[in-house]
Structure 1
């Protein structure tokens, strides 16, 4: 009589870890502990290699690059790798730039792990949108300038029945809300679509003189930034040569840059 056999290998575990914006000193203690414990590390392209100094010598490190405009590892393949490694008893860390739950596809990965019967822990990291404004010496919110903040992706696209791809963000409506509710807009992955975003924000009622900053490689030694206004954003961005990965910040909180001693533009007014 044949009896079913089961694997004696215990199920491993998986942790999604936010590696922060780039500066390895911004890694949390909990993130360091998770990296030190991992037997398998699946590492995103934007993760600073210096963070891997915390990995154990025998850890298997797999680079699964995902960057806009570049060749990327398919998301489905990454999820299969995670699930297979956990089922083999490995301690898996999915190391992601910024925070796993802020435009990091962490939600999708957690869903797929749970569907496979695998519990998953998430360790937050400092998101690039916060690091970018901190590097400029200004806050995301301020009692005099901004009552709230909106994090939004600059390349949200949705498919339609005709096969076309359309922007799923109503930038004009967002502009009107930001103006009326005094919100700071923090736009991820928006450099490629900066012209469209600029046009729609202006159409929605944000004044052309609204301060804008673009920060590339926030928190790293080679960080670069541009200070402009909404009306001059596209021209100034082209002249600056800044590209991805960059954060675009729009809002009156940037008027505090001069008081903070950071470089400010005379276009901001008073």
Structure 2
């Protein structure tokens, strides 16, 4: 039985077919291969060219067929990275050459993954595309660390935010408004800017003893969790010397980890 036949048996339907000249944007989830969706597995099983983010688990990369080309197209803060324009143009060029192209992104392509930007460009170029969602680290990563994103009696909403503003809009986020909302904040890509972000939240009046946690390499055997407070989390992360991306949670939901972690 082939992998695609096994997927058909599991889902009760034929797997989606990746046609030549098509580009699929696929979410790899938060890290652990077990959190791939079945449609993501189907996509990887048909790829002729895989353009993938950095830090994707090698076991996930190994799911593409023998002979498929794999290219690292990850963007790493503070390190040499592929330019977004170059990535997008490569997707278009390879699709026009008739290849089955998979663009594999950590988490979900549409949650701080620039997936929409790539889809806009593909659509404008007339390239057929599809998005296969993935579990986003801001929710799945917290769950793996014993932190519920929502908890009755604690919060009625949760804010997902990135510490990296768009180019030319460094201060686009109104941190004071987020602080005053009284709901938990989950930060993506915040390790390098954590002192600035926590400082802004403190100046906006969010109490320094607000529970906070950082989760690195969530859902993997290398997962690390640091519990602290809003006033101390930046120093704790710096002292730990983390060089990998981390999810930061700020708010009362973090306190639940004492019972669930």
Q: TM-score, normalised by structure 2?
A: 0.89
Question: Is residue 2:152 matched to residue 1:143?
Answer: yes
Q: Distance in 2 between matches of 1:136 and 1:184?
A: 16
Matches within 5 A, 1:43-192: 43-159=52-168, 166-177=170-181, 179=182, 183-192=183-192
Aligned equivalents of 1:24, 1:11: Cα separation in 2: 26
**Alignment partner, residue 252 of structure 1:** 252
Alignment partners' CA distance in 2, 1:46 and 1:71: 14
- Which protein is bigger by CA-based radius of gyration? 1
Contact 2:20–2:100 under 8 Å retained in 1: no
Q: Against the structure 1 CA distance between its residues 141 and 93, is the aligned structure 2 distance closer, same or farther, given a 3 Å change threshold?
A: same
- Alpha-carbon shift at residue 201 of structure 1 (Å): 0.8
| Residues 206-244 of structure 1 deviation map (CA, whole Å, 9 limit, x = unaligned) | 111111000111111111111000122222222222343
CA distance in 2, matches of 1:190, 1:63: 22
Instruction: Quote how far apart the aligned CAs of 1:68 are.
Output: 1.1
Quote the Cα distance in structure 1 between the aligned partners of 2:41 and 2:166: 35
Secondary structure at the aligned position of 1:118 is classed as coil
Count the aligned residue pairs: 243
2:234 alignment partner, SS class: helix
Using the TM superposition, give the Cα deviation of residue 23 of structure 1 relative to its aligned residue in structure 2, in angstroms: 0.6
Match runs of 1:16-31 below 5 Å: 16-31=25-40
Displacement after TM superposition at 1:157 (Å)? 4.6
TM-superposition CA deviations, 1:182-222 (whole Å, max 9, x none)? x2211011111111111111122211111100011111111
Of 47, 51, 62 in structure 2, the residue corresponding to residue 38 of structure 1 is: 47
Residue 166 of structure 1 and its aligned partner are, at CA, apart by: 3.3
Mapped contact 2:190–2:248 kept (Cα < 8 A): yes
Structure-2 change in CA distance of 1:213 and 1:167 (3 Å): same
Say whether 1:196 aligns with 2:196.
yes
TM-score (norm 1): 0.86
Q: Shift of the alpha carbon at 1:88?
A: 1.1
Q: For the residues of structure 1 that align with 2:222 and 2:132, how far apart are their CA atoms?
A: 26
- Quote the Cα distance in structure 2 between the aligned partners of 1:122 and 1:11: 16
Distance 1:226 1:191 in 2: 12
- How large is the RMSD of aligned CA atoms in angstroms? 1.5
**Structure 2: distance between partners of 1:243 and 1:43:** 20
